[in-house]
Structure 1
Amino acid sequence: MHHTHDEVGIPPAGRPDPSETLTIGDVTRRTGVSASALHFYERKGLISSVRTSSNQRAYPRHMLRRISLILVAKRLGIPLADVARVFSRLPTEHAPTHEDWQRVSRAWKRQLEERRRQIESLERELTGCIGCGCLSMRACLLLNPDDALQARGPGPVRVQRQ
């Protein structure tokens, strides 16, 4: 439902009405996200919509910020499950307050710091492993005699430590 500036309660020109809802077409134009992706994000609980009197989806304006953050997270390689965990701390029925965003931003910062530590650890491991130059299993046997790392589980256990 779009409002006109003649209606009572409309903010001054240049400031969007936070209670305004946007059609799916408006949101796809504003964000570049396809309608099918919006539906997917909604099924995953990342965003929410309301139904108009004509049973069409309408998105609260504050969902634009969520969608933008989803796009940034995807670009950074952050799994949608992590985004959903962070977003679960935000209200969907009204625009999040500054305090809501601060709380979520601190949680996300901790997650990003942990990811950074994991990436730096992976980089050190790869440099040590690939950078040794031996290209033989003998050196690996020196680093992992009698396959002792097997007891710690499957896969690259040094890289996967948490």
Structure 2
Amino acid sequence: MQPISCNQTLAVATHRIFPPDLNEHQTVFGGKLLSLVDDSASVAAVRLTHAKVVTASLDHINFLVPFQLDNIISMEAYVSGTGHRSLEVFAKLIGEDLMTGKRFLGFTCFLTYVLSTPQAASLPTVRPVTKEQRYVCAGYLQRYQERQAQRASEQALINHVNLDSPFQP
């Protein structure tokens, strides 16, 4: 199977910030950003798989600079690594002040998507094109291994989570 360039999976979206997007600090609510990223980054995943995917995790989440009213958010996401049934997408949110034109990096994260139905063949690998993509893709295997180790410790937590309400007799 031929590798696919990261650029072939690139998803781009632009959103203007309005008052309902803001929290009590007058910055964009973090949950709104996570929703925006998951929604748009899934496009990159499907561009690679041409199949239905489900979100398995978001990690390495970095809220770097808050987004405010009179900012726009430009989201860029591309596939940064693939496994047999899962793939990783790198997403970044670039802010721009509409009054000054000043741009800033406001948010980054990695999302893992899993094919919702098994495929006969493995997913194609991705080929980085830009300097940024080469750097991001070079770290895929280490992040994959970290996620595998984290899953084991999360399973231990899940096994100890109490499902009974403290208010029930």
TM-score (norm 1): 0.30
More strand by share: 2
In terms of Rg, which structure is larger? 1
More helix by share: 1
TM-score (norm 2): 0.29
